[in-house]
């Protein structure tokens, strides 16, 4: 069930009505939300509900056992093996088989393996990481085990953020679950603004940018320089509007059900460094990788060289988390390399961080283009596709610039980038949601009209559903 479908709108209106009518009976309210979440997920494939139930039951039992057994580390290892094992089987086993077969073909050993007929469960990476964070937090003593199985099941399966985040920590979710989740008009206004702007980002902007991106990245032959360059910029904006649009809708829907979730995006394309970019992009994944992987590897506690190695390993695994492809590994590796090189630059040339307007803009310009270069590996289907894109960028010809088409795209993409600077102070959404007059009504009306006028005929799935 897609957020940008009529089916979801009807489903969510019914859930809101039931949620409000069951406020006096918290147990029944939780049970209804869990049933709704399972129904929501089951619309993709009912069979894969068994995976969520298996992961839920396993980590619920392990969480209780971690505070009772004498050797909790062994239980934690079981949790990690089970969760990562399920994730590997469904997401990476065919990739591993493909790599094995490629090596076997080169060696001529005749030991090829047939790939398995598997359908990747939607959102498996998200709910697996969420479940793993719970057992790690309980093991570390950062969180108590949740003894109510219904509560824990809802934590894993809560539908607004089930398939594409944000990745919510157990403490954050249970704090919201346990409080009085009464909805006031201020909360409704805030939620409606988030949902409206989220839909505009997705259906009016991201889905239209796809028409610029797909002809270039999906082509089997090299395209012109200007088409390729603008497609790279367009994809940077498409994936931002698509993913941040999803999380805006998810956070807004959760708000209407009484849950406040952490922010997941904070205008990433005005970042002045790659480190700053990851503080602004997919923020809940960034802190997950920091808290459960980077710090576990030693963080920055073992000297500059080890810190750079830890950054590289963290980003390589973060890239692989996104998908079973060498493209994603290279994408993560590039960001790891960027982060490592940044530390060297900061250590040797501290004046680079001087707070002047010119240097800030230069840092934003360089960071944005480093991110866009890495996006090529993220979007291309394979390394051959990357080669075609890079080859197209080498065919620079001023005469190929089409003023009617390319100049329009430059203006549109430049306007989207400028909107990042305008929104960077974080005040626009707050002012709109706090307004009870023309600004609030006008924003919702403009969003509705934008969706009516600019929504493509075909519904496009959210990009991060594949992860």
Cα separation of 376 and 387, whole Å? Answer: 10
| Region for 80 from its dihedrals, namely left if φ exceeds 0, alpha if ψ lies in -120 to 50, beta otherwise | alpha
Alpha helices in 354-454 (DSSP H): 357-379, 383-393, 403-423, 428-434, 438-454
Please tell me whether residue 97 adopts helix, strand or coil conformation. helix
DSSP for 37-55, please give it.
HHHHHHTT-GGGHHHHHHH
Q: Does 322 participate in catalysis according to the annotation?
A: yes
Tokens describing residue 427: 């005040």
The DSSP call for residue 126 is H
- SS3 sequence of 167-194: CCCHHHHHHHHHCCCCCCHHHHHHHHHH
DSSP for 76-129, please give it.
HHHHHHHHHHHHIIIIIHHHHHHHHHHHHHHHT-----PPP---PPTTHHHHHH
Nearest alpha-carbon partner for 135 in 127, 143, 123, 125: 143
Angle ∠(73,76,81) on CA atoms, nearest 5: 125
Catalytically annotated residue among 7, 282, 322, 406: 322
So which residues are the catalytic ones? 322
């Amino acid at each position: 069930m897609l957020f940008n479908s009529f089916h979801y709108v009807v489903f969510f209106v019914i859930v809101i009505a039931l949620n409000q009518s069951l406020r006096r009976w918290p147990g029944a309210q939780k049970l209804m939300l869990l049933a709704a979440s399972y129904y929501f997920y089951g619309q993709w494939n009912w069979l894969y509900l068994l995976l969520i139930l298996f992961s839920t039951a396993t980590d619920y039992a392990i969480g209780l056992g971690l505070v009772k057994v004498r050797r909790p580390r062994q239980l934690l290892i079981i949790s990690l093996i089970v969760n990562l094992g399920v994730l590997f089987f469904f997401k990476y086993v065919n990739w591993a088989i493909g790599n094995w077969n490629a090596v076997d073909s080169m060696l001529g050993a005749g030991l090829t393996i047939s790939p398995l007929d598997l359908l990747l469960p939607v959102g498996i990476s998200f709910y697996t990481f969420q479940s793993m964070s719970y057992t790690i937090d309980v093991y570390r003593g950062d969180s108590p085990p949740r003894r109510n199985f219904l509560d824990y099941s809802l934590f894993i399966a809560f539908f607004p953020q089930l398939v594409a985040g944000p990745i919510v920590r157990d403490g954050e979710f249970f704090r919201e679950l346990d409080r009085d989740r009464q909805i006031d008009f201020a909360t409704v206004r805030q939620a409606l603004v988030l949902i409206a702007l989220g839909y505009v980002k997705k259906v009016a902007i991201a889905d239209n940018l796809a028409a610029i991106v797909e002809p270039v990245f999906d082509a089997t032959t090299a395209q012109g320089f200007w088409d390729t360059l603008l497609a790279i910029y367009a994809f940077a904006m498409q994936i931002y509007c698509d993913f941040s649009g999803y999380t805006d809708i998810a956070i807004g829907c959760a708000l209407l059900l009484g849950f406040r979730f952490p922010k997941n995006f904070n205008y990433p394309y005005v970042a002045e460094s790659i480190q700053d970019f990851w503080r602004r992009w997919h923020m809940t994944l960034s802190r997950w990788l920091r808290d459960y992987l980077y710090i576990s590897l030693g963080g920055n506690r073992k000297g500059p060289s080890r810190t750079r190695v830890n950054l590289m390993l963290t980003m390589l695994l973060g890239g692989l988390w996104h998908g079973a492809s060498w493209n994603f590994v290279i994408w993560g590796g590039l960001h790891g390399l960027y982060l490592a090189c940044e530390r060297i630059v900061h250590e040797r040339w501290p004046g680079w961080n001087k707070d002047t307007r010119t240097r800030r803009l230069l840092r934003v310009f360089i960071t944005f283009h480093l991110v866009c270069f890495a996006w090529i590996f993220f979007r291309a289907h394979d390394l051959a596709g990357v080669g075609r894109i890079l080859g197209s960028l080498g065919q620079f010809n001023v005469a190929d610039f089409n003023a009617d088409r390319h100049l329009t795209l430059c203006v549109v993409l430049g306007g989207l980038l400028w909107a990042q600077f305008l929104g960077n102070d974080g005040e626009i959404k707050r002012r709109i949601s706090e307004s009870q007059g023309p600004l609030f009504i006008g924003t919702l009306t403009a969003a509705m009209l934008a969706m009516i006028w600019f929504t493509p005929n075909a519904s496009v799935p959210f990009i991060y559903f594949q992860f």
